[in-house]
A and B are shown apart, each in its own frame.
Chain A
Amino acid sequence: MAVTVRIPTALRRVTQGQGEVQVEAKTIGELIDALEKEFPGIKERLVEENGEIRKFVNFFVNDEDIRFLKGKDTELKDGDIVAIIPAIAGGTEA
């Protein structure tokens, strides 16, 4: 289940500059854990301490916001494109 993840520039310091990475995951929840395994420190930027996705970070699967799908349980299939889009405001980063 290889999916492509688009990393926003604000998080590329954690991904060693990579703007697109491939991970194996069946759901968004698994995808976050898979990213953390490869790029330690990325998870805390994406989820709250209670495990919920941060309110100023959005995940889109093939252009659909996962909040309107099944949230963290949104299923992924081979070839899906997941975009992570945080709120940005000028020089401030989320």
Chain B
Amino acid sequence: MSFQFTEEQIKRYSRHIILPEVGGKGQQKLLQSKVLVIGAGGLGSPSLYYLAAAGVGTIGIVDFDVVDFSNLQRQILHNTERVGKPKVESAKMTLEALNPDVKVIAYNERIHKDNVMDIIKDYDVVLDGSDNFPTRFLVNDACYFLGKPLVSAAILRFEGQLTTFDYRDKENSPCYRCLFPEPPPPGLVPSCQEAGLLGVVGGIMGTLQANEALKLILEIGEPLVGKLLVFDALTTEFNIVKLRKDKKCPLCGEKPVIKELIEYDQACDIHF
């Protein structure tokens, strides 16, 4: 099936098309791809921005929060005028203004056990940029059950973590629970209050998440599977440690005990 680019698209994506690893074919793949981003915050802002600019054809965004002044130090999709507006609406406005080729689907709702499968099932790649453990475990388990690749990033203070779980290859890819079998119990998380975050850390890690998503869609390079990248903004150091598939993993191990979605208690309800 041939794909007709418009004049404007040829110009818009010329820097992609000129790359032999992308080309017209790759650009076509991007335009036909569907990516879901959980959270339109510190990580979602840069990842969504670059995915839209790259011409990812369908982008889903899940967030139930509204834009707050305290978000604007890092959540660059939003702006001062949009304080009080739902984040997904603000994100949609920004992304559609940047690239009209992109169809943005806004899910202005909290993700939970009963909607997560339905939301995720039609997407090719999922990016987790959420700010709490219950969501991270739920999204992980849902992606595992549905066989969707999950690009997971997390940020705190001056630190970022990134890895890709490729659940299209469940035999070989470790899962989030191989790394962290279960979330910290709510009472034990000492600082549910704001722990602080250097805004740019979200920019760096979210951009790397977009890079992972683009590689998966374009089928180029090596995704960060079986590796956990840890970034320290204070020393500007990236370190990579190995992630192994755990035979005793409760989700993907030899004798899995998790066979359906689990909803953990929210450790706290503060969103940053």
Q: Which of B1-9, B81-89, B126-134, B207-215 contacts A (4 or more CB under 8 A)?
A: B126-134
Tally chain A residues at the interface, Cβ within 8 Å: 26
- Assess whether B242 is in contact with A56, with CB atoms less than 8 Å apart: no
- Assess whether A8 is in contact with B195, with CB atoms less than 8 Å apart: no
Separation of A82 and B195 alpha carbons in the complex (Å): 24
Separation of A9 and B196 alpha carbons in the complex (Å): 11
Q: Which residues of A contact B64 (CB under 8 A)?
A: none
Give min CB distance, B206 to chain A, whole Å: 12
- Assess whether A63 is in contact with B240, with CB atoms less than 8 Å apart: yes
- Assess whether A9 is in contact with B157, with CB atoms less than 8 Å apart: yes
Say yes or no for B119: interface residue by CB 8 A criterion. Answer: no
Separation of A83 and B241 alpha carbons in the complex (Å): 9
- Assess whether A89 is in contact with B131, with CB atoms less than 8 Å apart: yes
A54: nearest chain-B partner, CB-CB: B184
- Assess whether B195 is in contact with A93, with CB atoms less than 8 Å apart: yes
Separation of A63 and B238 alpha carbons in the complex (Å): 13
Give min CB distance, A46 to chain B, whole Å: 12
- Assess whether B183 is in contact with A56, with CB atoms less than 8 Å apart: yes
Q: Which residues of B contact A89 (CB under 8 A)?
A: 130-133, 135-136, 154
Give min CB distance, B118 to chain A, whole Å: 23
**What is the total of A-B residue contacts with beta carbons within 8 Å?**
104
A55 in complex: contacting residue of B42, B131, B180, CB < 8 Å: B180
Say yes or no for B182: interface residue by CB 8 A criterion. Answer: yes
User: Which applies to chain B's interface (DSSP): helix, strand, loop or mixed?
Assistant: loop
- Assess whether B232 is in contact with A9, with CB atoms less than 8 Å apart: yes
Q: Which residues of B contact A93 (CB under 8 A)?
A: 156-157, 189-191, 195
Say yes or no for B243: interface residue by CB 8 A criterion. Answer: yes
Separation of A17 and B105 alpha carbons in the complex (Å): 43
Separation of A19 and B233 alpha carbons in the complex (Å): 11
Give min CB distance, A30 to chain B, whole Å: 21
Known: A63-B241, A65-B244, A85-B228. A90 touches B130 (CB 8 A): yes
Interface residues of B in 154-177 (CB under 8 A from A): 154-159, 161
Say yes or no for B179: interface residue by CB 8 A criterion. Answer: yes
**A residues with CB within 8 A of B:** 6, 8-10, 12, 19, 54-56, 58, 60, 63-65, 67-68, 83, 85, 87-94
**B residues with CB within 8 A of A:** 39, 41-43, 129-133, 135-136, 154-159, 161, 179-184, 189-192, 194-195, 197, 228, 230, 232, 234-235, 239-244, 246, 267-268, 270-272
Not counting A9-B159, A91-B272, a sample of 17 additional A-B residue pairs whose C-beta atoms are within 8 angstroms of each other reads A9-B232, A10-B157, A54-B184, A56-B184, A63-B242, A83-B241, A87-B180, A88-B154, A88-B155, A89-B135, A89-B136, A90-B39, A90-B43, A90-B155, A91-B131, A91-B270, A92-B267
